[in-house]
A = this chain, B = another copy of it.
């Protein structure tokens, strides 16, 4: 199936979509963010074919979101570590989680997050960087 490439559109949402459109990719990132690093652990967590998993991880390495590192020589074994660019994707995953918890979960959210800075159970909230008020549709315009 040939896909339109959004990577060259002059739109950040399109470019992120190009990346996330590789199906599985947000779930690989989710797993990496909860501490999974080894190929076999991703494989086990996601029940994803080894070829597809390899492809997705390699795309993330190419995009600079992960680094591949050999942790065992014989046989060769690799782990994949988030880079700064990859770690900085966490707020996007957190915003997805908040929306999914509110609108798609049956009853209680599947997972709750505790913010270690304040010690409380937290809901990721998207706010204005200047005034700190929640950003809602209709409160922003093209500048």
Smallest Cβ-Cβ distance to A91: which chain B residue = B126
Which of A's residues lie within 8 Å of B, judged by CB? 1, 3-4, 6-7, 10-17, 20-21, 23-24, 26-27, 30, 33-34, 64, 82, 85, 87-105, 109-118, 120-143
In the complex, 29 of the A-B residue pairs with CB atoms within 8 angstroms, ordered by the A residue number, are A3-B23, A11-B30, A12-B100, A12-B110, A13-B27, A13-B93, A14-B27, A17-B24, A20-B26, A21-B23, A33-B137, A82-B137, A85-B103, A90-B135, A91-B134, A91-B136, A92-B92, A112-B143, A113-B140, A114-B140, A114-B143, A115-B128, A115-B139, A115-B140, A116-B140, A118-B130, A120-B128, A124-B126, A125-B126
